[in-house]
Structure 1
Amino acid sequence: MKYFYFVITALLYIVIVIANSSLIVVICMNRSLHEPMYFFLCSLFVNELYGSMGFFPFLLIQILSDIHTVSTSFCFLQIYCIYTYASVEFVNLAVMSYDRYLAICCPLQYNTRMTSRKAFILIIVVWLYSLVKVVITLSLSIRLTLCGSVLNGLWCRNYLVVKLACSDTTVNNIYGLFGTVLSVVVPLFSGSKQTRQKAVSTCTPQLVSLINFSFGCCFEIIQSRFDMSSLPNGTSLC
């Protein structure tokens, strides 16, 4: 079935690239869309391209390969790309919710409180925050002494690498939990009761998108912490 899975995955990757690239071009070429909301959307589309580039090509190779091996350096590179993508996605969605909050709750002041310049600054902060946060995550993982080489999965995840360590991983676990709460929980539950009520009544599609992505990531985080020894061997570090 590997060729079938390869074709399905490759088609999905092609659709993601074409769709997001087209949307970026439309926003850049259409001057009427040069507004803060569309700048945030453009940042989201760029992040989708970045994240899919870090995930799909390696997954396609692993699907076709009979021997699943990956160098340690490339494994950490993939972790960096995917974790940066997830962080940018959450924080970007949180910033977009702030933009919609201003538009809904302060419509008369929106154009003065959310300018194009402020939107660009927020986008830069979103990316810099995510890049630095994941650098710290990797720096904590790279210092570990690994006593194993088999990751139970087809792609690299930081916690799976940490589970191979012989040295103390307390700092890694604390920082990972702190980063998850900061990136996932805070954007979901921030705001006053009145703000959340207005958001539910006017921004349902955006909330569904955020909740869907959040629960998917939370499931992945929780699942990776259970014993997966009953599954066939996954990727081997070399």
Structure 2
Amino acid sequence: MPSTDLTSAHAFAELAGRLADLETVADVAETVCTAAAPLIGGGSVGLVLYEQRRFRLAGADDAVLAAAIDRQLVATEGPALDAARASAPVFADLTTTPLWSRWTPSACALGWRRWLSLPLMSRDQWCLGVLEVAGRTAAELGTAQIEQARVLAEHVAVAIDAARIRQTLLVAQIAQETVGQAVGILMERLDLTAEQAIGFLRRYSQEQHLKLRDVAAGLIATRKLPDPTGSR
């Protein structure tokens, strides 16, 4: 293996190790936007995430790139959205492509010429977002850079997927602990069994159209019991 390939492999392995230690998606996005461009060998890098049924800009290493990505989201067209919908990479020379008539002229006006959008797929093959790589000249985003970007996208997808799983587990743990504390309060105050206390909380949450963890958190914070009749 050539020394340049060894150097690249080492750099990606180092980044993968850093990403694996991050707890939140926001931390992953910040690290990627800071460290990605040198690994690819040029261009600018941004990250779009799909959350709560909408795309949002999570970060970019260049303010002008961030503006171009934002314009995609406003125009509801562009390579990032196409890559996400097709779960496949999209590459275009913006100076010649007939695609995205509402977005492409504005991206070119900002100075971008070549654009690569790589979908970030979860282990269950759900689209987590899109890695955006853009170049200002025809020399940027050649074959080698595109391949490096593909490798980077795989690492980023794994890191985002893992961070989201950790956050989901953390939220579930906190909710479980919160409900457990509330159950303990009810058992003491009303002389209930654990099963009766849980049933009490569930009935109240259903009657008041509140989440169980929110009812539990309110009880812990105020030390006041919910009204058993369901009245406010």
- TM beyond 0.5: no
Per chain length, whose mean CA-contact separation is higher, i.e. which structure has more relative contact order (CA < 8 Å, sep 6+)? 1
More helix by share: 1
Q: Please say which structure displays the higher CA radius of gyration.
A: 2
* TM value normalised by structure 2: 0.28
